[in-house]
Amino acid sequence: MKMTFRWFGENDPVTLTNIRQIPGVTGIVSAIYDVPVGEAWPLDKITRLKQTIEDHGLRLDVIESVPIHEDIKLGLPSRQAYIDNYKTTLRNLAKAGIDTVCYNFMPIFDWTRTSLNYELEDGSNALIYEEEVAQKMNPLTGELKLPGWDTSYTDDQLKTLFDHYKKVDEEKLWTNLAYFIREIIPVADEEGIKMAIHPDDPPWPIFGLPRIITNRENLDRFLGLYDSPNHGLCMCSGSLGAHKDNDFPAMLRHFGHQKRIHFVHARNIKRIGDKSFCETSHLSEHGSVDMVEVMKALKEVGFEGPLRPDHGRMIWGETGKPGYGLYDRALGIVYLNGIREALNH
């Protein structure tokens, strides 16, 4: 497998020089962050990003992500123009030599947490999701400002979106997702791009909004929407592992044998209730996900694609984007590489 690391561009306090010095890391996961959602990504911006990364001795292995406009998720008449822009972006990515794209289909909010600075027993800080807290939050008041999804909506825009989603239940969201997939995957097939959908995080409905990429049954249903080897999954141990009924290593074996896993996010979480969890270090003994079993499953199915440590704790006084500090994610990479080397021996 290819060890990769998330980089948020020139404004990221974590530099490419930092990343290049992490043992075993050869690839970068990044995106174009200054193009409004729904617009096509210009080829020149993509090639500049790729060249910058290559100038530091690394590869641009994965684009994460090309955001999907809400009109597509809602199934509004305006969706076709945004889908056409998405196709243009995929074609431009292919021209630049990019072959893996991660995306998600979560309504309005990307990954969601109720606090960015939960203090763990060791004094480090981590992201946490507490269901009871979430149920008391009003998403229309601007309380949620997380470094993982677009915070550009005004309160009025959010209210309008929520009004639209009152007409969208799970089955309607499945219908809208199926329409998008039928439009996009033929382009991915033409261009040789592996499309990897990220699971919903957390993997259950929040704020009355439907979420459908949540468990093995739904991932099977998703893959059944279109018959193509490029129509695949990003398997995230933290997202899917947050639900007590999801056996993540078993899911890796199930979908890995089908060769439908195109990207892996490896991080650990500790479940602290039926629908509450905090993030923790990668070590198996610190969380609810057996990372040794995760790496063993990936080896068994012959996974050769990109893997990255996902969110990490903020440790050793590091500041910056919560969940995306350099130090703990670097420790995670070293830990995962240690497991891999032991398994290979």
Catalytic-role residue among 118, 165, 311, 335: 311
Q: Where are the alpha helices (DSSP H) in 224-325?
A: 237-241, 248-257, 291-300
Cα Rg for the chain, rounded, in angstroms? 19
- Annotated active-site residue 345? The verdict is no
Dist. CA 125–CA 323, nearest whole Å: 9
Q: Is 236 a catalytic residue?
A: yes
Out of 265, 282, 290, 335, the active site residue is 265
Specify the DSSP element, H or E, that contains 268: strand 268-273
Do 283 and 242 touch, CB atoms closer than 8 A?
no
> How many CB atoms within 10 Å of residue 337?
16
> Which of the residues 69, 198, 243, 282 is marked catalytic?
198
Annotated catalytic residue: which of 236, 243, 282, 328? 236
Q: Is 84 a catalytic residue?
A: no
Local structure of residue 67 (DSSP, 8 states): P
CB 161 within 8 A of CB 153: yes
Which residue in the list 129, 324, 328, 335 is annotated as catalytic?
324
State residue 19 phi and psi, 5-degree precision.
Answer: -65, -40
From the list 12, 61, 310, 328, the catalytic residue is 310
Strand partners, 278: 128, 270
The answer to whether 310 is a known catalytic residue is: yes
Sign (positive or negative) of CA dihedral 6, 11, 14, 20? positive
282 annotated active-site: no
| SS3 state at 289 | coil
Q: Angle at CA 332, nearest 5°, toward 330 and 333?
A: 65
Q: How many CB atoms lie within 10 A of CB 220?
A: 14
Q: Is 231 a catalytic residue?
A: no
Active site (catalytic) residues = 198, 236, 265, 310-311, 324
